[in-house]
Structure 1
């Protein structure tokens, strides 16, 4: 009886081992059948110090990794010296194929070339970041890596990010930064040589006789109403002249002044207005009119000067 049980256990163990082996084989087969996604590097420019991964089908001597020297030259078996620095990956692939045909080594060469390590090219980050500049991000990185390297976004940063990929200046990529916590879709791949420009969100300034003068960001870069700007500044003071409130707007020909009857807007007798980015709302004191035009201009100049403090 004991011998029968022992044989049964051995038989079950063998069956389980076989099933387990087949299951793992199937899993590995599925994983191996899924192609690894490789980002397109064809337009990236090769630089000195870059490490290249070269594969020429059916030519074992040209399945290797080689580094570009300081002069931009690569020495390849069977071919010799080739200057790759300044070429795109695609151009280098075509050059290798052409050389193999000229040397009558391969009739129709299949060449694969990838930059495995980037050595010299930096990623340029400009616009509304705390430390604009060129950063030597080695190899492919994500957008937020580049922004982080540049000190992060400023308080005036907009949600639009323009990415100009190396070799594709006529086809910039526009990314919209999300408001929530889901960053994965916006966190695109960045390569050395790319340029990243962070947009500036619209800002409206409210100064003068208001409870809390300041610079107020336009949500989603959209317009802001006049009453909302006053509300963000926590309303006017008791000394405010609601009849002579001004909007100062910069144009190509200078600064224009628009007088706005705030009291009538409050009472619904005049329509609310839409402000533009960089508009200045100036609420003067009620007795500023007694100073005449010169006094009013002086008050406006003082308000504009205060904008530089707010910035």
Structure 2
């Protein structure tokens, strides 16, 4: 069974694809180590070069040698290189064009229960749902909860986002922008277990507000010998001890519960 989170992000995937997600908004890209750029100067084909941004944030450019561009936008880097060419007396008017061919520095890792885990470039302004869509959406085993790990000003933080609740309530302000180096981790959906006289004993995904009766349905229903009375739940208490209690069909199911359906006496 696919979760609501799966369908939400699948819809986002269609929207991102339709909107041309692969097109880089060059003006918004900040250059960083590992990026590969192709430069050309109008009227001076001998100055065309493809180069990689070094770990120190510099590129090698003809006549100028090392030029620091790390942390600069493409437009700012173009202006800087043009200014240096003019200041050095190499050209009276330098029109520099820079194209980012490989965006290695601005990548977000999307991990966990997604269909295509990996590292994805942040081209322009991208938010959490955009990156989940680029990763193929939440898998059938994925939770509605995701963890967003970010480092800003040397401080690493972890935030939990309920993507289904966010969309249902229209609280899209929680769909925050991401940047290179961020990590999105989709948790595994919470699970519980049903055993005894059910058609398909074993683990099942806990849906929101799930009751014992619904859990038994997830297990295929009762066997001909199964009884819907005298059911029991075994769960861990605050101290981690296993506690077994009688269960009613309307009782809510909790993570890692073990629901036991006993055989009917008649």
What TM-score results when the alignment is normalised by the length of structure 2? 0.53
Please show how residues 20-169 of structure 1 align to structure 2 within 5 Å. 38=25, 41=28, 44=30, 46-51=32-37, 67-68=51-52, 73-76=58-61, 80-84=65-69, 87-89=70-72, 116-118=100-102, 120-121=104-105, 123-129=108-114, 132=117, 134-135=118-119, 137=120, 140=123, 143=131, 146-148=134-136, 153-161=138-146
**CA displacement at 1:128 relative to structure 2:** 0.9
**Which structure has the larger Rg over C-alpha atoms?**
1
Is the Cα–Cα contact under 8 Å of residues 208 and 284 in structure 1 kept in the other structure? yes
**Alignment partner of 1:203 out of 191, 194, 202:** 191
Normalised to the residue count of structure 1, the TM-score between the two structures is 0.47
Q: Does the CA contact (< 8 Å) of 2:226 and 2:261 recur in 1?
A: yes
The whole-number CA distance in structure 2 between the counterparts of 1:192 and 1:214 is: 41
Gaps (5+ residues) in structure 1? 1-35, 106-111, 180-186, 266-271, 288-311
Structure 2 CA distance, aligned partners of 1:240 and 1:229? Answer: 14
Separation in structure 2 between the aligned mates of residue 243 and residue 195 of structure 1, nearest angstrom: 47
Aligned residues: 214
The alignment's C-alpha RMSD in Å is 5.3
Secondary structure class of the residue paired with 2:135: helix
Shift of residue 170, structure 1, vs aligned partner: 5.2
What do the CA deviations read for 1:83-121 (whole angstroms, capped 9, x no partner)?
55xx4336x959x86xx79x989xxxxxx9987232545
1:247 counterpart residue number: 233
Change (3 A) 1:166 1:66: farther
The structure with the largest strand share of the pair is: 2
CA drift at 1:46: 0.7
TM-superposed deviation, 1:224: 1.0
- Other-structure match for 1:237: 223
Q: Distance in 1 between matches of 2:76 and 2:159?
A: 25
The answer as to whether partners of 2:114 and 2:132 remain within 8 angstroms in 1 is no
- 1:124–1:195 Cα contact (<8 Å) kept: yes
Judge conservation of contact 2:49–2:61 (CA < 8 Å) in 1: no
Q: 2:200 aligns with which of 197, 212, 217?
A: 212
- Counterpart of 1:302? none
Residue 235 to residue 249, structure 1, CA distance change in 2 (3 Å): same
Residue-by-residue CA offset, 1:127-158 (whole Å, 9 max, x unaligned): 213564x44x567395356424xxx6432213
Q: Distance in 1 between matches of 2:122 and 2:39?
A: 13
CA displacement at 1:75 relative to structure 2: 2.9
Higher helix share: 1
Aligned mates of 1:115, 1:208 — CA distance in 2: 63
Preserved contact between residue 225 and residue 274 of structure 1 (Cα < 8 Å): yes
Contact kept in structure 1, 2:235 and 2:256, CA below 8 Å: yes
- Cα distance change, pair 234–64 in 1 and its aligned pair in 2 (3 A): same
What is the Cα deviation at residue 69 of structure 1?
5.2
